[in-house]
Structure 1
Amino acid sequence: MPIKVSVVIPVYNPGKYIEDCIASLLRQSLPDDEYEAIFVNDGSTDDTPARLDRLAAEHANMHVIHQEASGWSGKPRNAGIAAAQGEFIQFVDNDDWLGDEALERMYNYGVENKADVIVGKMVGKGRGVPRELFRKNRPHATVDNAPLIDSLTPHKMFRKEFLDRHNLRYMEGRRRLEDHVFVTEAYLRAENVAVLSDYLCYYHIKREDAANAGFQRFDPVGYFKNLREALDVVEELTEPGPLRDKLFRRWLRNEMVERMRGQRLLKLPEDYRRELFDEIHKVVVERFGPGVAAGLPPAQQIVAALITAGRFADIEEFARWESGIKASGSLDGLAWDTGVLTVGFTAALTSGGEPLTFRNDGTKDLLVPPLSKESMEAVAQLGADTSAPLGKSKADVVLRERSSGAEFFQVVEITREKVAVEGREGHFRQVLRADSRVDPLAAANGAALDAGVWDVLVRISSCGWSKETRLGAVRSDAAGRGRGGAVVGSPSHLVLPYWTDPHGNLSLDVDQQTDRLSYEFAHLASADVTVTTDPGRLVVVLPFHVQGESAADLKLTNAESGRAVALPATLTARVTGDADLSADLPLDELAGGEWRLELTPPSTGDGKPVALPLALDVSASGGVVVKRLAAAAAELAAKDPGRRRPAPRPGATTILRRAAGKLRRALKK
C-alpha cells in the first residue's frame, strides 16, 4: 500500500518522555503499512538511540536516522522531510503524543477537503494551546476567515508535494521561532487549510522537569531577531493593509504585549524584565504601524501604547493591577431537562477581591486603571482606546477532561447587567447572567463526551482579559437540589454531576470513572422501596433522570451464605424526575434469607456494580420486609461531600434558650 502519512519526530535526549510518544504511534488506527514514523536522532547522548534502534528492528514502519547534534529542531525535521515516503507529513515532538485515531482522521479530512495543511485539535497538558481556533471544524480555513495565525507550532499535517513545490523547509541551527517562519509561509501559500476540531489529535506536554525547549529562558536580542524573520515572511507574501495588520497583531499580542502583563512580567527578575522590555520596544517602534495595535482589546491596547511610549514604570504598575483581576462565579441553577443538563450561573470580574469597576462619562464606558493622568494622556496620544466594550463581554462554559486536558465549549445564552457602585457616582460593575445547556451526547463539538471526569469552568472574556473560575463552590439551594445522575442515549451513558472534595466545585463523572455513584444511594430508605408478593415484584425509587426506559442489572446476595442471584431490571422515568428501578422477584428462590441489593446501572463500557444500603428479609413463606442497612448508609453519607448540608437554622425557641443561657452566664460572672 502507498504510505499515506509519514510522522517526523526530531529527537534529542528525551529519556523516559519518548515512551508515550512511541506508544501513541504504535496505537494508530491506520494500518501499519499505510503510515511510517521517522525518528531523527539529533546527536542524543542518553540511551535513546539504542531504544530507537530496538523499536525499528521490531516494527517495519518505524525508522531511525542518526545524525550529529545540530542544536535545534530545524535540521532533524528537514532530514525527516527528505526521507518521508508519505503523501502527507505530520510533525510530532519527542515528548508529545497523538490521539489513537489522529493520523487516520486528519488524513481523511485533508483528502476530503483537498487541503495542503491539516490542523488537528490540540490539548495542552501544562502548556497553552489555541482555543478559539478549535471551537468548530473549519474545512476551508484561511488566515483571513479563521484564527489560524494563533497556531504556529509545527505539530500539523502537511501535504509533501506542497512542501516540495514551494521548497518549504525549516531554518536550521540553534535559533528560536523557526516553526513560526515555516508555518506562516505554509498558511499563506496553501490553497486550503483544514481545521479538525471534533477529535483530540495532538497532546502538547509540559515535562515534569520543564526541560522542553520552549520553557527555557531566552536571550531577548536573539529571540526578537528571529521573530523579525517571521514578520519578513508576512511582508513578502501580503500587501500593506488590514490583513497584514491582523497577522502582525498576533506577534504584538502573544510575543510582546502578553509578556508585559500581570504575573508573567512580575515574576521575572527586574534586570531581565527591563532587557525584555527594551527589545520589545525596538520591534514595536520599527515594524508596527498604528493599525496593528488598534485591533487589540482595550487592556492590551494600553500595554501596547505604554511599550511604544517607552514607559516601563507604568508597564510594571499596570501589571501589578492586572495581576489582581480574577473571575468569580455563582451556580444559580442545575437541573436535567430531557437528557440535557441546564446550568444557570452568574459571573463577574473582580480586582483585588472586590468587584472590578468601570466608569461612565456620559457617552461611553471606560476602564479605570491605576495610572496617573500624565500616563493616560500619553496612552491617548498614541491612539489607544481605553473605552470598555462591555457589550462584547462573554462568559463561556468549558468542559475540561481531567486526565487528558481536553476542552470543549458549550452553548451559552447571556444577559449583561450594569450594577451601580454605592458611593461612587458614575462607577459601576458588570454582572453576567447566563444559562448553558450541556448535552452529554453532543458536548464534544457535536460528539458524545468520552468516559472521564469533566470539570465545569466558566471563562470570562472582557476588555482584553480572559479569566477562568470553577463553578459550584458558591451555589444556590436550587442548584444543590437539582444535582443528580442521568442515563442518556442509546447505548446508555451514565452522567453524574457531583461536588468535588474539598472545594465543592461542579464536575461530571461520565460512565462511572469515580465511586461517587454509591453516595447517591446513601439516603435511600425502606420507604423508597415497594415489594409485591403475588407475583414477586420489586420497585426502588432512585435519584436518576432517565428518558423512557433503560435496562439495568440487579444482584441479590444472601447475607449469610454469599449466594448471589442476578436479576434483569429496568429503569423507568417518573413524573417527579426520579426513576423507578423495577425487577421481578423469584420469591421461591429467595425464601428464608436476608438479601443485600447491588445495582449495575446502564452505562457504556463495563458498568460497575454499586451497593444499595437496603436488604430484603424474605421469610420461609415468601413474605418480604425491607430493611435499611443503617451502618452502610451512614458510612456512605459520612464520606460524601456532595450530600452534606449546612446545619438547619435554629428556631425561635432555640434562639431564646441560647440567649437566656448567655445571660445567666454573664450574671454569674
Structure 2
Amino acid sequence: MTGGTTSPRVSVVVPTHDTGSHIDSLVASLLRQSLPSTEFEAIFVDDGSTDDTPDRMEKLAAEHPHFRVLRIENSGWPSRPRNVGVAHARGEYVLFVDDDDWLGDEALERLHDCARAHDADVVIGRMAGHGRGVPRELFRRNRFDATLANSPLIDSLTCHKMFRRAFLDEHGLRFPEGWPRRLEDHRMVVRSYLLSRRTCVLSDYTCYHHARRGDAGNVTANRLDPVEYYASLREALDIVDAHTEPGPLRDRLHRRWLRNEMLNRVRGRRMLDAPEDWLAEVVREIQGVIRERFAPGVAAGLPPLQRVLTHLLEEGRTADLRRMAEWEAGVRAVGAVERHQLSGATLTIAVSARLESAGRPVAFTADGDRDVLVLPVDGVDPALREVPAVLGRSRLDLVARHEVTREELFLPVTVEHDWVPGSAGVRHLRHRAVATVDTATLNGGRTAGAWTLKVRVTSAGWAEDGHLRLRLWFPADGAAPVVEDYQRFWPRLRRAVRRRLGRP
C-alpha cells in the first residue's frame, strides 16, 4: 500500500510543465489500470509551471491517495523532474511517462508481471504512435532476453520503459542535467541497456501511447540547436564506446544515430522545409561526427540509398542532397489487393506492392555484374549504389492498424519478390504476400472497432507504408469481422447518390 509500510510495486514518474488539460488522457488511463491503486503510485513532478497545472494536480492528489505532486523550480527540461521523481519513488520498479502520453489499461500489471517473471532490470512495452513514430521491428514478437547484440533494442531510445529501481540506484542511472540537454533519454537508456542483466520486450499488448500535441507544446518540439544537439549525440557515442570494443557491434550501434539523427535530417520534406542557414549548420555538424567518430564499417553496413546520402553529407554536396530530397519526397509504397476471402473467422488476403517516385517505379540497372540503384544525382561511385542480394533483403509486411487506438499488428505472411523489366535497361522490384489470419485470436482477441490495412515495403534503404482498399470492422472483441472493400464501396455509394438525386 502506498500510504502504509508496504512499498508499491510500481512508481510512475511524470514530469509536468504548463500541461493543462493535455494530461487528462494520462490521468484517465492511470485511473483505469488493472493493477490495484494500492499497488502503484503516480508521482507528478511539476517543473515550475506558470499555468494552473500544479493546482489541477494537487486537486487530483487530494482525491486519489496514490497520486503525489512535487514542485520544483523551472529547469526547462524533463531531466531534472524525472530525477527528482526517482529520488522520491518507493516502487520496486519505476516507469517514466510523459504528461501528454497515456497507458494501456493493463500496462502496469503486464509490465510488472513480465519483470517479475523474468527477473528483468528493464522492460519495454509495445508502443502505439499518435502523430509520432515508434519502433516497429522491436515489437514483432516478445523478447525475454533482449540485448543490443541479439535484437533491435537500439531502435528504442526514449525513456518510456519500466526500470528496476534498485538497478537505477546501483549504477547511478539518472538523466543528464545541464548543458547539453538534447537526447538526454538516449544517454540514459543506452547505458541502461549496456548494464542491464536482463531486458525484456513485451510485444503482445500495447502498453504505451506516444502522442504529439497538436499545439506543439512539448519542449522537445522546438527546432534543435545543431551544436548542442550533436554535442549530445557525441556523448551518447562516448557511452557506447566505453562499453564496447571496435568492431561489428559498435558499428551497428553507431549506425543507429547515423541513420536516425543524421541522415533523416536531410531526407525528403524534412530537408526541403528547413531554412538554408540552419541546414548548412546541421550539415557541418554531421560532417564532423562522421569524420571524427565513425569507422568505415558504420556507413558500409547501410543500404545503398543511405550510403549515398552519407557520402553526399561527408562531401558537403548540399545541392545534390536537396536534389535527392526533392526526388525522395515523392517516394511511396503503392499496394494492391489481388484477392481476399473470409471463411468463418479465417481471413485470407493476397497483396502486391512496389516503391514509386512521382508515379514511376523506383528503378535498378545493371553495372557490369551488379545491380545498382538509379538515383537523380551524378558523380556517385556505383559501388555506393550497389544492391547485393536485394531480393533476399527486401521485405513486404501486411499491417493492420486500429483507427482509434493506433495499435499496429504485423499479420503473418508468406512473401516472394521478383524483377519486372522496364525500358532502357532498367527494372523494378515487385513484392507479393499472402496472409492467412485467424481473426478470433488477432491481438489476443482485443479487436473491437475498425482496422485499416496497409502494406509496408522495406527495400534498398526505404521503409514505406501504402494504404490498401480493405478495412476490417469488428463489432465486438473476438467477433468475425465485416470486410469492407473501398474499391467496390465508393462506386456503389456514388451510384446510390446519383440515383437519389435523379441523375444518370
Same fold (TM over 0.5): yes
Matched, 1:335 2:335: no
Aligned-pair CA distance for 1:361: 3.2
CA contact (8 A) 1:329 1:348 kept: yes
CA RMSD in angstroms comes to: 2.5
Aligned to 2:434: 435
Aligned-pair CA distance for 1:103: 0.4
Task: Compute the TM-score of the two structures, normalised by the length of structure 2.
Answer: 0.93
CA contact (8 A) 2:122 2:199 kept: yes
SS of equivalent residue, structure 2 residue 306: helix
The one of 53, 58, 68 aligned to 2:58: 53
Distance 1:288 1:503 in 2: 53
For 2:76, the aligned partner's letter is G
CA contact (8 A) 1:472 1:504 kept: no
Q: Larger helix proportion, structure 1 or 2?
A: 2
Give CA-to-partner distance per residue, 1:83-114, whole Å, 9 cap, x none: 00000000000111111110000000011011
CA contact (8 A) 2:364 2:374 kept: yes
Distance 1:258 1:499 in 2: 35
Distance 1:390 1:131 in 2: 21
Matched, 1:192 2:198: yes
Aligned-pair CA distance for 1:231: 0.7
Where does 1:13-412 land on structure 2 (aligned, <5 Å)? 13-173=18-178, 175-372=181-378, 375-377=379-381, 380=383, 384-387=384-387, 389-412=390-413
SS of equivalent residue, structure 1 residue 181: helix
Aligned-pair CA distance for 1:472: 2.0
Aligned-pair CA distance for 1:188: 0.3
Aligned to 2:484: 498
Over the matched positions of the two proteins, sequence identity in percent amounts to: 47
SS of equivalent residue, structure 1 residue 441: coil
**Are the structure 2 counterparts of residues 57 and 161 from structure 1 closer, same or farther at C-alpha, using a change threshold of 3 Å?**
same
Aligned-pair CA distance for 1:492: 5.7
CA contact (8 A) 1:390 1:463 kept: no
Give CA-to-partner distance per residue, 1:198-225, whole Å, 9 cap, x none: 1110000111102222321011011111
Aligned to 1:458: 455
Where does 1:641-652 land on structure 2 (aligned, <5 Å)? none
Aligned to 2:13: 8
Aligned to 1:628: none
Give CA-to-partner distance per residue, 1:339-358, whole Å, 9 cap, x none: 21111122111121122221
Distance 2:475 2:218 in 1: 42
Length, aligned pairs only? 493
Greater RCO, 1 or 2 (C-alpha within 8 Å, sep 6+): 2
Aligned-pair CA distance for 1:23: 1.1
Aligned-pair CA distance for 1:499: 3.2
Aligned-pair CA distance for 1:502: 10
**Are the structure 2 counterparts of residues 462 and 68 from structure 1 closer, same or farther at C-alpha, using a change threshold of 3 Å?**
same
Aligned to 2:418: 417
Structure 1: stretches of 5+ with no match in the other structure: 474-482, 506-518, 520-634, 642-646, 648-669
SS of equivalent residue, structure 2 residue 319: helix
Where does 1:583-594 land on structure 2 (aligned, <5 Å)? none
SS of equivalent residue, structure 1 residue 433: strand
**Are the structure 2 counterparts of residues 65 and 74 from structure 1 closer, same or farther at C-alpha, using a change threshold of 3 Å?**
same
Distance 1:484 1:104 in 2: 29
Matched, 1:448 2:445: yes
Aligned to 2:466: 469
SS of equivalent residue, structure 2 residue 239: helix
Distance 1:169 1:501 in 2: 53
For 2:482, the aligned partner's letter is L
Aligned to 1:559: none
SS of equivalent residue, structure 2 residue 204: strand
Give CA-to-partner distance per residue, 1:467-507, whole Å, 9 cap, x none: 1111128xxxxxxxxx999999xx961311113499959xx
Distance 2:240 2:473 in 1: 52
CA contact (8 A) 1:36 1:63 kept: yes
Aligned-pair CA distance for 1:418: 1.2
Give CA-to-partner distance per residue, 1:251-306, whole Å, 9 cap, x none: 00000011111112111122222121111111111110111111111111111111
Aligned to 1:575: none
CA contact (8 A) 1:299 1:386 kept: no
For 2:411, the aligned partner's letter is Q
Aligned-pair CA distance for 1:415: 1.9
CA contact (8 A) 1:298 1:464 kept: yes
Where does 1:503-518 land on structure 2 (aligned, <5 Å)? none
Aligned to 1:623: none
Give CA-to-partner distance per residue, 1:317-343, whole Å, 9 cap, x none: 222221222211121101024521111
**Are the structure 2 counterparts of residues 130 and 138 from structure 1 closer, same or farther at C-alpha, using a change threshold of 3 Å?**
same
For 1:638, the aligned partner's letter is A
**Are the structure 2 counterparts of residues 484 and 351 from structure 1 closer, same or farther at C-alpha, using a change threshold of 3 Å?**
closer
**Are the structure 2 counterparts of residues 504 and 178 from structure 1 closer, same or farther at C-alpha, using a change threshold of 3 Å?**
farther
For 2:496, the aligned partner's letter is A
